[in-house]
Structure 1
Amino acid sequence: MESVKNDDEKVTMDSVKKLIAKRDEIDRRIAKEEENNIDMKKSLVDSEGFPITSVDVYSVRRARSAIICAQNDRQKLTSEIEKAMLTLHQQKRDCITPRNELAAIVDNIPIVHRTSNAPFAKIAKVMDASPAFRAGLKNGDQLIQFGSLHAGNFTDIKELSVVVQNYMNKPIRVTVLRSDRPIRLELVPRTWSGKGALGCSVLPITPAHI
């Protein structure tokens, strides 16, 4: 899997776009596997330990393995994309990246693939004076965008941690759904007097909870 160059080399818009294209391809692979309604948790054997005759065990195991591998690759790419974004910001400060090129990639990445305001996670237990509190987040807010994450590419709650770790002391573009209205905020993860870098809980939303 291609990765962003080391810190001594220049990160360009094209190099980040290549990573995004690779992640999009992984999303397509995952979607194709999921078209077969693969259950990732259902047992493939009966109560006596024998394979269930109505299930193509080999095909299900192959599909599960393919989905898990793809999700792992996707998580790694998401981390690399976030790190590349930070490098682009640094290059902007160092006058390495032209302003218009940086503006294009910063404006483009978080929203280019978002096609709806479908929520994928929910904010809870916002602590007073926390980064989440200062950003304007409230209990019950539903996340529809968190940096580059949105309902169309979100697969695991751990991806939020990756974004937070890569944006310590830097603003993250956040859009929440509150009273059926989208609200844009800027959240800056940081060390504070309470627990965590956000000072709130983030819970995944399943279709049944929307």
Structure 2
Amino acid sequence: MPSVSDADQLDRNRSVAKDLLQRKDEMEAELKGLHEALRAHGVGMSESLVDNEGFPRVDLEIHQIRILRNAIARSTTDIKQIMSDLEKAIHDLHSEAKITSAINTQDGAGRTLRATADNNTHITSQTEVTVSDMSALEPFLSVTSVAESSPADAAGLMKGDEILKMGSANAQNFRSLQDISDLINNRENRGVDIAVLRNDERLQLYLTPKKWSGRGLLGCHIVPKSL
């Protein structure tokens, strides 16, 4: 029978995961607002703020745009960190639940713990999606449309972006869009690192696939890049 401390630990892990999930949603809503405020100035994250002669563009509120871009960059980093914390909290929660279940099952404890270890290995591999060297990556997907207020929109993905890496998928291992669909479904509410090429600039975004008011989990249309 599980001890009181086991049950308390399970409750604590559940509470931590719930708090982190709520904070993630709040931060994503804040990031969406920042992107909307930036778009109201007629620019995104990559457009130049100087004219062809190198002078500040007179048609833009450059100071405010820089403030918004910096805020978006900080918010994106913060969301990435909280997603990492959330992954660990969910990992701990599942581990504690499996161990508690194993204690209650006299003849199945070994199998349960082995299954837990296998599951944890899978979770770990799914989180290792950081782009270590974007300069070596080649585009393999093209973004043809992004729906307003969608998860893709909130992440800063734009029409015309060429995807260099999406989670563990890249030009070397890409086979079909079904692979991308499977990857996105497996990462629902958990986040995916994306590297994109935009106007000759390589950017790293963080996208959280999730249900929204439109279709799918992303709200964008992507196609294999024409060779």
TM-score by length of 1: 0.49
Structure with a larger share of its residues in helix: 2
